Structure 1
């Protein structure tokens, strides 16, 4: 009987610490999430590749609107095939010629504008990739937060079940309990152990993915705080959706894509106009020629003849199709953003409500139910299975609480990435 009393006292002590809200714990030594985000933005190779791609296309603008290089030609002209002498005929000489091509006015500007708009497309792609990277870092971080809290809760419940097992074994030995109570407690502990192994494995996988985003070795350890302050949105759905087109970089990218095809259309229309080629030449003649070998100077202009109009009309039609395609993509992206913002906003609000519901209602009630069941079990008013059921119910609610906390912040990260800005929120 003394052993049973001692175990009951131990359970009471564990219950005192166990019943405290886990959301009140904190870890001052945890790294800053913002510092981790900054590290990812600095070192992530995929983001760096996107930046370099933008830089690569940005450097195409100046060459696209610059004249082609002049051509310098040196030629031996009109040498007789029998003597190859430079003083046999007055037509013989050594020619030096320079040519420069000039596109029809407006073509170079259109080419440069098309290249500039293409660079703006990749600029928006890069800036949007930054947003998506921040979202991915936050998402992985909050998922690891859940894994850590779930592991803690599972380990606490396993420790409590260990005491339950000892208690049921002792009561069974003295004839005050049932063997099925012992077996049921052992089964529940085994199920929690299986769940613990799964949670630990999932955390390792998440950690590897998180470290990949930061370009770290996959096994680099990470500690996250045990408490995340609640956040309430200070703006409504319509305000976020209305501002998304201004702040989301890919909207600027699609506008640039439309501008690129418009410039290509203008260039295709200008292709109906001829290009020019100016040249100047100088012929050096032999001084021993009968006429004294006077040198010759020549100059001229040539143009191409844009007679194949069907080819050019197809180029204009191609650019028109590109404009319509880009506008349709712009509209489709607008609808995607509106839908994604709407969905993320709904999930933020749902999970915030769940967090409040668990924190102020479900969890306190579940703890009170467990405490009442334990007190009743100590005096023999309820059986062990009822006590065990109240414990496992509390366990599930605590897991659901931390899942809601994690999902709330993950949805907020998605909302910010979808809208292109930090969403004002009150803590």
Structure 2
């Protein structure tokens, strides 16, 4: 019952944690994609089957050793007072020491629990991968939209340049530079289209779908005003660390089983010997068969094997503890890095927001100067490039914020 409760809690934790990959304010699209991936991903199905196999082993160990049957025929019949012995039938069943079967079941159950943690880790990693691809698709498509807006903006600038060219206030070079810039943006857009197809194919592979199936993402994301508070102590409930607890428990159960296996085994048997009647004599018990109950005791006198197993289990527990501490340090480092990068993305976004407003003000000044006939298209291109840089930077900052948030959620929720 104790193991069942632990397993139930672990399952509940996963169900809750999987939802945290969908950041507040995001659409339900990501949650739907994660559910599809968890349902259809072959790797998850593989881990589920491995868990089912491990669970079934509990039934496998809940058995006794084979019952032994023997049949013998006396080629040279030994004579007894009651007659000649014709054949012999024997049956024997060895029984493990008290509590051995329960120890085997507990060990098999602990191994199944450890395997379930592996399933949980695989599902959380899959949810993390889907989320990261999702925000990468958002970044690509948001950048495509920005490029479309800037291409339209450059086309309007080109019309201004052509009008200025007619009245001698601009040169052909200005027009050509604007057209070259449009070509560059069109090229960037085409590159993003190819990137979108590649990321979309990778995401579909996680959901076990056709590589070219369209994946819908949210149209707009913004960085929230405040971030939730995180405690490094919550790292202790990460399944990657709980895995070592389950492995440690399985080793303890292995040692209990080893102690039981080092105990004697008791066997119960029955021998039946068929006796032929003596035809030349009449007396009591003439030809009476022989029935002999038997008790067997198997004692592991040479138990060096079990002592060695005890030492190995002790060393394995120390190894598990070291591995857990090492993994905890790695996860702590990853959490610190994710929080730092997410904070950096907020700082960059706010700075780019200020710069973008100032660039827009500069653009307004340049456009108003066109009315006085003093527009400088070199300055127009410079401002447009700055605006595009800041817009792209904002999109990258938003993507980084949410990507790092999914990593943080993976680590501590």
Please give the TM-score of this superposition, normalised by the length of structure 2: 0.83
Counterpart of 1:61 in structure 2 is: 58
- Which residue in the other structure is 1:22 paired with? none
Q: Which residue does the alignment assign to 1:349?
A: 343
Asked if structure 2 preserves the Cα contact closer than 8 Å seen for 1:276 and 1:301, the reply is yes
Q: Hey, what's the Cα distance between the residues in 2 that align with 1:319 and 1:297?
A: 46
What are the Cα deviations for residues 130-168 of structure 1, in whole angstroms up to 9, with x where unaligned? 222222221111111111110111122122223333443
Partner of 1:302: 296
8 Å CA contact retained: 2:349, 2:393: no
Question: Which residue does 2:92 correspond to in 1?
Answer: 99
Partners of 1:62 and 1:328 in 2: CA distance: 33
**Equivalent-residue separation in structure 2 for 1:57 and 1:134 (angstroms):** 24
The CA distance in 2 between the partners of 1:252 and 1:235, in whole Å, is: 24
Higher mean alpha-carbon deviation, 171-180 vs 124-133, is at 171-180
Confirm or deny that 1:187 pairs with 2:183. Answer: no
CA contact (8 A) 2:244 2:324 kept: yes
Is residue 271–residue 306 contact of structure 1 (8 Å, CA) maintained in 2? Answer: no
Q: Distance in 1 between matches of 2:376 and 2:201?
A: 45
Any conservation in 2 of the 1:94–1:285 contact (CA below 8 Å)?
A: no
Of 333, 339, 342, which residue of structure 1 is paired with 2:333?
A: 339
Does 2:247 match 1:257? yes
Measure, in 2, the Cα distance between the counterparts of 1:210 and 1:288: 88
Q: Distance in 1 between matches of 2:296 and 2:225?
A: 71
Aligned with residue 51 of structure 1, among 48, 68, 72? 48
Of 345, 349, 358, which aligns to 2:352?
358
Q: How does 1:380-395 map to 2 (within 5 A)?
A: 380-395=373-388
In structure 1, distance between residues paired with 2:199 and 2:101:
51
The structural deviation recorded for 1:51 is: 1.9
Aligned length: 380
The equivalent residue for 1:80 is 76
- 2:229 is the alignment partner of 1:236: yes
In the TM superposition, what is the alpha-carbon distance from 1:391 to its structure 2 partner? 0.5
Does the 8 Å CA contact 1:157/1:395 hold for their aligned counterparts?
Answer: yes
Q: How far off its partner does 1:298 sit?
A: 1.8
Equivalent position SS for 1:91: strand
Q: Is the 8 A contact 2:44 2:123 kept in 1?
A: yes
Distance in 2 between the 1:382 and 1:314 partners?
88
For residue 403 of structure 2, the aligned residue among 397, 406, 410 is 410
What SS class does the counterpart of residue 60 from structure 1 fall into? helix
* CA shift for structure 1 position 202: 0.7
Per the alignment, residue 264 of structure 2 pairs with 274
| Residue 374 (structure 1) aligns with | 367
2:33 is matched with 36
Partner of 2:274: 284
Give the deviation of 1:375 after TM superposition: 2.4
Equivalence for 2:131: 138
SS of 2:402's partner is helix
SS at structure 1 position matched to 2:71: strand
For the 8 Å contact 2:84–2:277, the answer to whether it is kept is: no
1:13 aligned partner: none
Does the 8 Å contact 1:280/1:300 carry over to 2? Answer: yes
Residue in structure 2 matched with residue 245 of structure 1 by the alignment: 236
Task: Name the Cα RMSD after superposition.
Answer: 2.6
Secondary structure of residue in 2 paired with 1:293: coil
Query: What is aligned with 1:160?
Result: 153
Task: Give distance in 1, aligned partners of 2:60 and 2:203.
Answer: 41
- Give 1:118 shift: 1.1
Unaligned runs of 5+ in 2: 1-26
Give the deviation of 1:261 after TM superposition. Answer: 1.3
Which of these residues, 151, 176, 189, is aligned with residue 169 of structure 2? 176
Q: Shift of residue 94 of structure 1?
A: 3.8
TM-score (norm 1): 0.81
Contact kept, 8 Å, 1:101 with 1:277, in 2: the verdict is yes
* In structure 2, C-alpha distance between the alignment counterparts of 1:67 and 1:301, rounded to whole Å: 20
Q: Give the Å deviation of 1:299.
A: 2.4
- Alignment check: 8 A CA contact 1:93 1:283 kept: yes
